[in-house]
Amino acid sequence: DVTVWVDGTPIADDLRTRLEHRGLASAVQCPGDLGVRMQHAIGEGLRRAERVVLIGSDCPEYSAAFIDAAFAALDERDIVIGPAVDGGYVLIGARGPCPALFDDMPWSTPHLLAATRARIARLGLRHAELAPLRDIDDVDDLAWFPALHAGS
């Protein structure tokens, strides 16, 4: 199952309507920082499934195979990470609740991936990492985007 989590803005209301017309489930994110919202989404997902994978909307390099690999990794590991080349991550998944994983993290910095790895180790969890992908965080990140679609 796929659920698109959106913020509570009027633009998001329009997006939810469009998603529903296409048969896609959506939900409004809870208030709080990114970690609070991510943990909430994972918790809600785990109420309906044994494994949950969160992906951001800022990574045009995702493929079905990449997401399938994330779910497969959760057959063996507690956490899966899809690193971003800039030091963050584009995907994180879990097969159980892990609230401490998201507390007080250096969101939107090049230190997030390293901090997440350290937190996973401190919590005694086992994790897998997928191949790094690029995401789009600012205008400079758009420089590589046209080359991604040059052959299509």
pLDDT along the chain (152 residues), means of 10: 88 90 93 95 96 92 95 98 96 95 95 98 98 87 71 59
| Structural domain includes residue 14 | no
Q: What is the CATH number of the domain that holds 98?
A: 3.90.550.10
The pLDDT score that the predictor gives to residue 138 is 82
User: For 84, which DSSP code?
Assistant: B
The pLDDT score that the predictor gives to residue 46 is 97
Other CB atoms closer than 10 Å to residue 114's CB: what's the count? 12
| Structural domain includes residue 29 | no
Q: 34 and 107 in contact (C-beta within 8 Å)?
A: yes
pTM over 0.85? The answer is yes
Domain encompassing residue 130: 57-145
For the chain, what is the domain count?
1
| Structural domain includes residue 26 | no
Q: 94 has which bridge partners?
A: 52, 79
Q: Which residue has the tokens 């296409």?
A: 22
